[in-house]
Homo-oligomer: A and B are copies of this chain.
Amino acid sequence: MNTFGKAFSFTTFGESHGKAIGCVIDGVPAGLTIDESFIQSELDRRKPGGKYATSRKEGDVATILSGVFEGKSTGTPIALVIFNENQKSGDYENIKELFRPAHADFTYFHKYGIRDYRGGGRSSARETVARVGAGAIAKILLKELGIEVKSGVCEIAGIKAQNYDFQYATCSEIYALDKNVEEAQKKAILEAKEAHDSVGGVALVRAFGVPKSLGEPIYYKLDALLADAMMGINGVKAVEIGEGCNASRMRGSQNNDAILKQGFKTNRSGGILGGISNGDEVDVKVYFKPTPSIFLPQQTIDTKGQELTCNLKGRHDPCIATRGSVVAEAMMALVLADLLLLNMGSQISHLQKVYM
């Protein structure tokens, strides 16, 4: 259950304060040029740093252990490992016996009957570094086929972007899609941080150049798989495709995208019809809750069931939507790579192209 994907799949391992985080990416077609510096640059985008993120210091250097020979993918599994460097487990001594509110501490303990209290253990968002590494490999595949995935933050603390500049987001410290509201968004983050609190936010992920036909009805649809991928990211509580919630407040005549010779007149569908990509841009919005780790007193219980007040210390992002957008982007790339492979068998003519 630590594997995502069917044809292009990845399996992750590792805990926040264990020796290493890593992943094994399986199903990578042979013959791709694997540029390690690109993988590193993707990890760097997710890496903590700056005043809007946690102060935990991690080099996040990925080492490829297998699957690449003379710079090319060989068709065998690619293992990536990132050794943890800055595990201050001591930070967690004081919470060893208590459950942090809105954290997975409580549920992991009840599920497994055991407690890895060090920074959330496996439930920590630190695990997502492995997803970004796997996502980088997926992107290398997508690029060969002219597909690109971009992302950014479209809302923080209720302050919404009015327009989306994906290029700008790559340079913004908070991954903001809209330069005009960026300062207000930054201010909201810092105000929450100063109040020992946190804020939520929303990431937008968009894929360009997606061919018509990705998505496997009925139970491996593109939209369902994206919902799965995004809702599985730490702290995500809602996922929208295209118009999303708004669609349910429209009439059909408003929501239906007319079809023209050159393509769809509008893209309220988010590029997906019947669970299959329609050739338009694929659009997903990912809603992150505020970071559960706040530095205000909170009511909770300990592993014996005793009530107490919890006062957290440690290093946490005041807003997880920012770095979370990079993870969401990686997940979209991984979903598309998987569906590209799965769709190869949809028509007998495809097999004839390859085998005859």
Contacts and interface: CB of A to CB of B under 8 A. Distances in A.
A24 B81 CA distance: 12
A95 interface: no
A224 B75 CA distance: 19
A171 interface: no
A342 B275 contact: no
A152 to B, nearest CB: 15
Interface in A299-346: 299-301, 305-307, 321, 340-346
Main secondary structure on A side of the interface with B: mixed
A23 to B, nearest CB: 9
A206 interface: no
B2 A299 contact: no
A122 B112 CA distance: 35
A61 interface: no
A5 B290 CA distance: 31
A239 B242 CA distance: 12
A248 interface: yes
A103 B276 CA distance: 11
Contact of A112 (B27, B75, B201, B247): B75
A192 interface: yes
B356 A145 contact: yes
B240 A238 contact: yes
A102 B289 contact: no
B248 A287 contact: yes
Contacts of A64: 19
A338 to B, nearest CB: 10
A252 interface: yes
Contacts of A205: none
Contacts of A213: 107, 110-111
